[in-house]
Structure 1
Amino acid sequence: MIVEEGPGWRFSLDRTRETHALLLAGEDWAAEFTLQEGHDLARAAADLEREWSRCSANLMPEEELCLELERGELWVQLEGCRQQRTLRFVLTPAQPGRRGVEGAWHGAATRALMASLRLLRQGALTDAGGVDASPV
């Protein structure tokens, strides 16, 4: 089991759990995710982060930026100024009976959580320190 956390965020990965192996939490919420949902969020966050890097270089100190991305069941937003960002998401499953969830991370929690998502996406997080063979 891997647990990373700090003020306003938590990332917990337990690959022994079959269905919901990933727990993500913010300031006052927590939700379990399938690995596929976690990878989808990690990919979307990485895409927004790349776009943020391209766009934010042109921002004046007082300007803010808001980027949104929607892929299938997932909507993700990265918003803020050069120094402070908020990452929001909404997961709305199309299949009946599946749960939906939404949450957000603010300020330093956004950067820390996005670093953990990057590691998940790159397959660097494994329980035994070995190689993660799960699809990205």
Structure 2
Amino acid sequence: MKKLLLGTVVLLAFNAAVILTQMSCKKEAKAEPAPTGTTIAQLDQILYLKHFTADRYLAEIWISKLDGTNNHKVNLTLPANMRVSDEAKLSPDGKTIVFSTLLNTTGGANTWGDGGIYTCNADGSNVKKITEASTDGYLSLQGVY
């Protein structure tokens, strides 16, 4: 009986030690508030590229709402022999599209190379060249901030 009582006391002491350890190691994750004057809002928009199986170098930029409604092609005008490549990003405010391009350097069917990076308004207007084409590789668009 003494051993049973002593075993119970030891187990209770061990249990109390575990509970105290867990309470002292409790971690709380508290997000810091955004800096004054900044807000982060979901745009309810998605930008995507439509590629064509008949011509693998042809892509169009499209925008829709997150629920799939209001699909529309972004109509933009690029210089001659230039096409939208396979990278496009929407700016955080939803007003600007940044995209990479392909340039047909010789006029042949499969002679597409890097054309540089461009921007335009979300409606396709105001197309501007941001970078020149790479002559010894290609440029890869990574993000818009």
TM-score, scaled relative to structure 1: 0.27
Higher helix share: 1
For the pair shown, the structure with the greater C-alpha radius of gyration is 2
Q: Relative contact order (alpha carbons < 8 A, sep ≥ 6): 1 or 2 greater?
A: 1
TM-score (norm: length of structure 2): 0.26
